[in-house]
Chains A and B, each alone.
Chain A
Amino acid sequence: MNKVLKGVFILALLLIYTTGFAKSISFVGAGSTFAYPLYSKMFNVYHNKTGIKVNYQAVGSGAGQRQIIARAIDFGASDAFMSDAQMSKAPAKLLHIPIALGAVVMTYNLNIKGKLRLTPAIITGIYLGKIKKWNDKQIKSVNPHLNLPAENIVVVHRSDGSGTTFIFTDYLSKVSKQWRKKVGRDTSVGWPVGIGGKGNAGVAGLVKQIPGAIGYVELIYASSNNMPMAYLQNSYGNFIYPSLDSVTAAANTKIPDDTRVSLTDTPAPTGYPIAGMTWLLVYQQQHYLGRSKAKAEAFAKLIWWMTHDAQRYTKPLEYSPLPKNVVKLAENILKSMTYDGKAIIR
């Protein structure tokens, strides 16, 4: 019994000891699952370079927003920008810092030769449950080159709250009045038809298993699983294939100073219509909860690096880098970060 007590005591001492000496700078972030592969690469490189540890956990965009409001983490990450109402729940002003661009692609399970083309009207028709067969007149008229089967269309959507859903429903709300009235845009909505899959991986899995299925996933989930992606007609009338370049082109529009804008249904002629930004969410005033000035400086430096040098890690992982005009905006936002009223980066 005495031995056990001694062991317990030593273990407790050891824990207190290690706690006291863990003073090196580290950051904790959470949110977007979509940006997880990119962030894990960036933070790994940064750790090897500087020794600073950044712990990023992919808990979903919605959870990322909630945790930064609760101040349980150093930064949140989200594919959906926060509305003014959402931001007012935070104890202080939050900044959105864009890190990369991504695309939501329409992937399908059809035994056809050649790539499917879709128009905004067809996608809304399918997701409203009006277009039920693959050989529908509307689909046939833009795909004269395809031999479309008389199969039923199986609609797949996300079952969990997600930034991907936000981008997708934001797009549908822009191209269809009926969608905006009936369903609207959110991280989760009341779907008129279809079955739900959990996470991007869940949707990709369902589409792969069910013949005649169609679903929306982030670009990398379709391409890493070798799933077909549809050409989409943008607002200019061109059919655009989802690619790094067409996504970057989508951001070539007027972007507000705080970068809180949706990039869907872009007016850019070569832009892919369902594109979106992914942001870091940080507090403007960095002196809170007893943070040291050194920590705030290291934090600003880390984000500066992510928006500049680290942009080269985007393309190998199938994200699109920030266009120059957006990088400039990110710089201005970073410069507005303060510690006791003084700018951290000048």
Chain B
Amino acid sequence: MNDMVKKLKLRQIQDKLFTAIIGIFSIAMLLPLFFILFYIIKNGAAAINWHFITSLPKPVGQTGGISNAIVGTIELIGIASLIAIPLALFTGIYIKEFEKNKLAAAVSSLTDLLQGVPSIVIGIVCYLWIVLPLKSFSLLSGAVALAIMMLPMIIKSTYHSLRLVPESLKEASLALGTPYYRTVIKVMLPAAASGILTGIILSVSRVAGETAPLLFTAFGNPFMNFSIDKPVNSLPLLIFNYATSPFSDWQKQAWGASLILIIMISVLNIISKFMEHKWKTTY
């Protein structure tokens, strides 16, 4: 009896010990994140005001803003989404619905491969594909580079979300005489919507912080630009340029721009968490 109690106590201690270790490690993992956030907020908050968000960059010595970079980032992401989302949705549906098809299997593994391609390589490819033939750095070339980066993430999330839709739901729809394409559009996609949308938003927030694919495509621009065939600025590009400059006021603006970029990305992440809960279909 005494032995049993002893063993039990030992186990309880072991249990607590492990809980504590796991807790400590998870907090330790979060520490870098908090340090990054703390640093950016500390240095960035001072740079941000209404003027900073709404005016164009100025040369050294005059206080300018980053409005062109904010608008440019939104333009780039918008057009990249227009290109990537339809393509990726169809590809995702294809590799789910024709899983046994050899081509679908090949597409699926190539998608994994695309995910592993470094972003700078995608930038160079878009430079060769779009910038050189058109003889101009452009919003379009930057958006295509970002779209290529978004593709694998959306394809994979579409595929996995569709797999979670029960087969019985699909069979019920088909049994009622609904054509196959309508079953996919009206039954399967809505049932998987929360997962797909989460994937889209996560891919958007992933590419919103990319600098490398934009260096030789979107290129940067000190002015506001709304044309698809002209260079455009983006927040990561602006941060890269300002942070490496020798002027302290540009470095300060780089901190401010970092904070704005982080806020934009966190808002997207919060929306995606919200959608995951709100639109989740359970069976």
Query: B146-160 interface mask toward A, CB cutoff 8 Å, 1 = contact, 0 = none?
Result: 000000000000000
| B244 contacts across to A, CB distance below 8 A | 198-199, 201-202
* A287 within 8 Å of B (CB atoms): no
Main DSSP-derived SS at the B contact region: loop
Q: How far is the CA of A198 from the CA of B59 in the complex (A)?
A: 23
Query: B229-252 interface mask toward A, CB cutoff 8 Å, 1 = contact, 0 = none?
Result: 111000000000100111110000
Q: Which residue from B82, B135, B222, B246 sits with its C-beta under 8 Å from A40?
A: B222
The stretch among A15-23, A176-184, A253-261, A326-334 that forms the contact with chain B is A15-23
B246 with A11: CB separation less than 8 A: no
* B9 within 8 Å of A (CB atoms): no
Q: How far is the CA of A133 from the CA of B53 in the complex (A)?
A: 51
Interface contacts (Cβ under 8 Å), in number, total 84
B60 with A41: CB separation less than 8 A: yes
Nearest B residue (CB) for A217: B246
B82 with A55: CB separation less than 8 A: no
B85 CB to nearest A CB, Å: 9
The stretch among A69-77, A137-145, A234-242, A295-303 that forms the contact with chain B is A69-77
* A341 within 8 Å of B (CB atoms): no
Do A225 and B136 form a contact, CB below 8 Å, given A19-B229, A55-B221?
no
A72 with B230: CB separation less than 8 A: no
Do A44 and B82 form a contact, CB below 8 Å, given A19-B227, A72-B136, A73-B137?
no
Q: How far is the CA of A289 from the CA of B221 in the complex (A)?
A: 22
A291 CB to nearest B CB, Å: 11
12 residue pairs A–B, Cβ–Cβ below 8 Å: A11-B82, A15-B228, A18-B226, A37-B245, A37-B246, A41-B60, A57-B219, A57-B231, A70-B132, A70-B135, A71-B135, A72-B137
Do A40 and B78 form a contact, CB below 8 Å, given A19-B228, A26-B230, A73-B137?
no
**Can you name 10 extra interface pairs (CB under 8 A) apart from A40-B57, A55-B223, A199-B244?**
A11-B78, A11-B82, A19-B227, A44-B222, A55-B231, A59-B215, A72-B131, A72-B137, A198-B244, A201-B246
Q: How far is the CA of A53 from the CA of B56 in the complex (A)?
A: 13
Do A22 and B230 form a contact, CB below 8 Å, given A40-B222, A56-B222, A58-B241?
yes
| B220 contacts across to A, CB distance below 8 A | 55, 57
| A316 contacts across to B, CB distance below 8 A | 61
Q: How far is the CA of A220 from the CA of B246 in the complex (A)?
A: 8
* Residues of chain A in range 1-55 having any CB-CB distance to chain B below 8 Å: 1, 8, 11-12, 15, 18-19, 22, 26, 28, 30, 36-37, 40-41, 43-44, 47, 53, 55
* A104 within 8 Å of B (CB atoms): no
Q: How far is the CA of A53 from the CA of B227 in the complex (A)?
A: 14
B246 with A18: CB separation less than 8 A: no
Q: Which residue from B222, B226, B245 sits with its C-beta under 8 Å from A55?
A: B222
Q: How far is the CA of A70 from the CA of B124 in the complex (A)?
A: 14
Top 7 nearest A-B pairs (CB, nearest first) are: A41-B59, A22-B227, A18-B226, A40-B59, A221-B246, A224-B246, A55-B221
A72 with B135: CB separation less than 8 A: yes
Query: B63-79 interface mask toward A, CB cutoff 8 Å, 1 = contact, 0 = none?
Result: 00000000000000011
B226 with A44: CB separation less than 8 A: no
| A204 contacts across to B, CB distance below 8 A | 246
| B219 contacts across to A, CB distance below 8 A | 28, 30, 55, 57
| B78 contacts across to A, CB distance below 8 A | 11
* B42 within 8 Å of A (CB atoms): no
A289 with B223: CB separation less than 8 A: no
Q: Which residue from A8, A44, A56, A201 sits with its C-beta under 8 Å from B58?
A: A44
Nearest B residue (CB) for A218: B246
A231 CB to nearest B CB, Å: 22
| B230 contacts across to A, CB distance below 8 A | 22, 26
Q: How far is the CA of A11 from the CA of B83 in the complex (A)?
A: 13
| B59 contacts across to A, CB distance below 8 A | 37, 40-41, 44
Q: How far is the CA of A41 from the CA of B215 in the complex (A)?
A: 22
Nearest B residue (CB) for A12: B82
A164 CB to nearest B CB, Å: 13
A18 with B132: CB separation less than 8 A: no
Nearest B residue (CB) for A313: B59
A285 CB to nearest B CB, Å: 16
